[in-house]
């Protein structure tokens, strides 16, 4: 990729950094950060103890809810958590970006790096630098490993159509 072209894409990326893509990915849960002092294992051990002492199934249900909603892992440590709707929106955004990279490669004969640079610049993909945004999109593309049939099926199930009404 020519240095002049790459510099132009970086300039476009700088202009687009405050785009909707970044705003979507930076949302906090109702504006309230999770407390840093609360330890997942301590909470779950307390719930286990209360479930055993009181025989109240609500404590057991609370543990199961924490696991089902991916709030804690198998060792009862807190995971970075996002509401389901936000997580689904991010997954759809990643799918759209994957499709854009794929289309640029197929239709324009563009390399993976150049396709990622194009999309990072045009969308203002959030990152600390333009190079980091490009690398993030490259990793996103490689991580998904979708074939065109899987992409079409995924799009049909995640994007509502007039037939869904």
Q: Is residue 16 very low, low, confident or very high in pLDDT (cuts 50, 70, 90)?
A: confident
Q: Are residues 102 and 153 in the same domain?
A: yes
Region 133-160: mean pLDDT is 71
For 111, 131, 154, 158, the CA distances from 11, given in Å and listed in that order, are 20, 12, 33, 33
The boundaries of the domain holding residue 63 are 35-68
Residue 26: what pLDDT? 46
Whole-number pLDDT of residue 20: 54
In degrees and rounded to multiples of 5, residue 86 shows phi and psi of -70, -40
Predicted model pTM: 0.54
Do 100 and 123 belong together in one domain?
Answer: yes
Residues 53 and 6: beta-carbon distance below 8 Å: no
22 and 45 share one domain:
no
pLDDT of residue 159: 52
Q: How many domains does the chain have?
A: 2
Residue 38's pLDDT band (cuts 50, 70, 90): low
With a pLDDT cut of 90, the percent of the chain lying above it is 36
**Is 98 inside any structural domain?**
yes
- Among 74, 72, 87, 73, smallest CA distance to 29 is for 87
* pLDDT value of position 78: 86
> Which value, in Å, is the radius of gyration of the alpha carbons in the chain?
21
């Amino acid at each position: 990729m020519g240095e002049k072209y790459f510099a132009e894409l970086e300039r476009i990326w700088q202009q687009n950094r405050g785009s909707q893509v970044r705003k979507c990915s930076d949302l906090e849960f109702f504006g309230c950060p999770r407390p840093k002092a609360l330890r997942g294992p301590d909470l779950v051990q307390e719930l286990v103890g209360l479930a055993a002492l009181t025989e109240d199934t609500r404590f057991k249900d609370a543990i199961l809810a924490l696991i089902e909603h991916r709030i804690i892992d198998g060792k009862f440590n807190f995971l970075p958590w996002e509401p389901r709707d936000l997580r689904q929106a991010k997954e759809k955004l990643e799918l759209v970006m994957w499709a854009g990279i794929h289309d640029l490669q197929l239709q324009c004969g563009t390399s993976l790096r150049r396709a990622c640079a194009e999309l990072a610049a045009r969308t203002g993909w959030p990152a600390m630098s333009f190079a980091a945004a490009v690398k993030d999109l490259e990793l996103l593309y490689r991580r998904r490993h979708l074939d065109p049939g899987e992409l079409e099926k995924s799009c049909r199930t995640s994007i509502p159509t007039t037939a869904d009404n």
